[in-house]
Amino acid sequence: IWRIAAIFFICGASTTGLIDSRLAMLCMGNGLGLTSSADVLAILAICGGIGSAVSGALADRYPARILLILYFAVRALALLWLPLSSFSVGELSAFGALFGLDAALTFPALAKLLSRSLDQYTMVAMMSWMMIAHIFGAAITSAWVGFVGMAGYPVSFTVVGLMCLIAAGLAGASQD
């Protein structure tokens, strides 16, 4: 349970805490206009919707542990690559597409992984606690990134990218 809570924490840190709350500022801070920044966020949202549509089907067909290793490894690579990019509209759009697809994929696999060790009544209560871990990860990350400011964004993306590699490792160590 604690391992899955840590994965939820890292998931919240990398999605809501970093990308959802800070990507527009990163775009605008690197010279993109308001419209271009909004376009990147729209791509992220559309790809997130597509990822949501396929995530349940993937979780039904493949082992949750394997899916989570793949999802968090891809997320880590995207986050580690972003500070090295030129922050052009094209590169930020590609990042938004990849990250949007990837971020939406994790929830069904995490729920499946958690349900393996719980009965249906305990599962409902435990999902609430897992969402608290997700929100806690998001809040801490968003506060940290806000504290370090725009100059600290590369470090923040690198740290959270490395955290996603830890999440992939935690998923690999989970029972499926």
The CB density around residue 152, as the number of other CB atoms within 10 Å, is 14
Mean pLDDT of 21-41: 85
> Does position 75 have pLDDT exceeding 90, yes or no?
yes
> 176 vs 99, which has greater pLDDT?
99
Task: Compute the mean pLDDT over every residue in the chain, rounded to the nearest whole number.
Answer: 88
pLDDT (0 to 100) of residue 149: 84
Longest CA span, the chain: 51
pLDDT (0 to 100) of residue 158: 94
Poorest-confidence range of 37-41, 97-101, 118-122, 143-147?
Answer: 118-122
Helix crossing, 64-81 with 153-172: angle to 10°? Answer: 160
pTM of structure: 0.89
Q: Can you read off the two tokens belonging to residue 147?
A: 């504290």
> Does position 152 have pLDDT exceeding 80, yes or no?
yes
pLDDT (0 to 100) of residue 176: 52
pLDDT (0 to 100) of residue 175: 63
> Does position 119 have pLDDT exceeding 80, yes or no?
no
Q: Is 30 helix (H, G, I), strand (E, B) or coil?
A: coil
